[in-house]
Structure formats: C-alpha cells, structure tokens
Amino acid sequence: MVALRWGLEVSVVLLLLAVLVQDWRWRGVYWYLFPALALLALSSRLLTQPLLTVAIEFACSAGFLAVHLAAVAGYVWLRFRPATWQWQAYLGLGDILFWGCAALWFSPLVFVLYFFTSLLVSLAIVGLARLWQGTTGNTHIPLAGLQAGYMALLLVCSWIWPLPFLTEDGLLLLLL
C-alpha cells in the first residue's frame, strides 16, 4: 500500500512538473494532463479515506472556488464594466481545471491555505522574473504552471521533512 501511494505521488509530481514547463514555455497546457492529475489525486486520496469523505471535502473546496470565481467576476464587472465578460482575458481555463485537481488532492482547510500561499508565491516569482528580464508587453501569468510547481515542491519536501500543514490535523495544531 505504501509503495502504491509513493508511486502515485511520484506520478503526480512528474505531471505537475509537466504542467509547469508547458505553461511557462508555451502559455498553455495539454488538456489531458488535468484528467490524469485528477485521477491520480482521487486514487491517492481513496487509499487513505472513504469515498464519501473525499466527495464531501471536494464539494467544500469546490464551493470555495465558486465563491472565489464569483468574487473575481464581480470585481472585473465593477472595475471594467464590460458589455460581455470575456473571462479568458483574465483567467485561463487551465487555471480553473488545475484548481479542481488541487481541490481533489487537499482537504478543504489545507486547500484554502495552499490556494492563497500559491497565489502569493506565483505573484512573487512573476514579479522577480519581470524585474530580472525587464518589463515586456506580455502580461500572461502562467498561474496553473507556477501553482503546479509550488505543489510539486511541497510534495517533494514532504518526502524529506514532515510538513504538518499539509494535513488538516497538523494545520489545526499549528493554528491552535
């Protein structure tokens, strides 16, 4: 059972690195990586938790994503007042699909922490890259790729050192 879980995690890390490279280099990710990531995440979670628990936790995380996307849509509408909202100009489909895959991997509390810290890390990396390379006309932020790279880094680090904030119990102990 341990070897199977480890094999699933290695496969997830490899897929996450593929998402990072594709999004950074080509500004797009092959669509079949997202179902593969979702299937691996679901398989890994089902090794340790019952299906009902995984489904309830995914529903909570998906609810958080729905609220987040509604807030982004509201902000864009209030700020720019577009006649028709072209969401692709502000957020890529790959970003949304990746968030769904990440929501399957983490419990709701850990997902919210991962979501916000990965946004901060992504913005810091893009800011540093633009300072280093100079400002260019390209305003695309490879968000799904950077968040995938951050998630891969967390998973690899968790193999070496125990990261208590990657489990809900550990995160609650750190917060209390």
Contacts 24+ apart (CB under 8 A), 146-149: 146/20, 146/23, 146/24, 146/118, 146/121, 146/122, 147/95, 147/98, 147/99, 147/102, 147/118, 147/119, 147/122, 148/16, 148/17, 148/19, 148/20, 148/23, 148/98, 149/16, 149/17, 149/20
Q: What is residue 38's predicted lDDT score, i.e. its pLDDT?
A: 97
Question: Which residue range forms the structural domain that includes residue 146?
Answer: 2-175
CA 10 vs CA 38, 41, 64, 112, 126: distances in Å:
14, 11, 28, 23, 27
**Structural domains counted in the chain:** 1
DSSP state letter for 80: H
Three-state DSSP class for 114? helix
DSSP 8-state assignment for residue 29: -
Specify the pTM: 0.89
Q: What is the pLDDT of residue 80?
A: 77
Residue 82's pLDDT is what? 67
Q: Is the pLDDT assigned to residue 23 strictly greater than 70?
A: yes
Judge contact between 25 and 149, C-beta under 8 A: no
Highest mean predicted confidence (pLDDT) among 34-38, 79-83, 85-89: 34-38
User: Mean pLDDT of all residues in the chain?
Assistant: 89
Q: Which residue has the higher pLDDT, 106 or 166?
A: 106
- Residue 81 backbone class (left: φ over 0; alpha: ψ -120 to 50; beta: rest): left
Which pLDDT belongs to residue 119? 95
Please report, rounded to a whole number, the percentage of residues in the chain having pLDDT higher than 90. 61
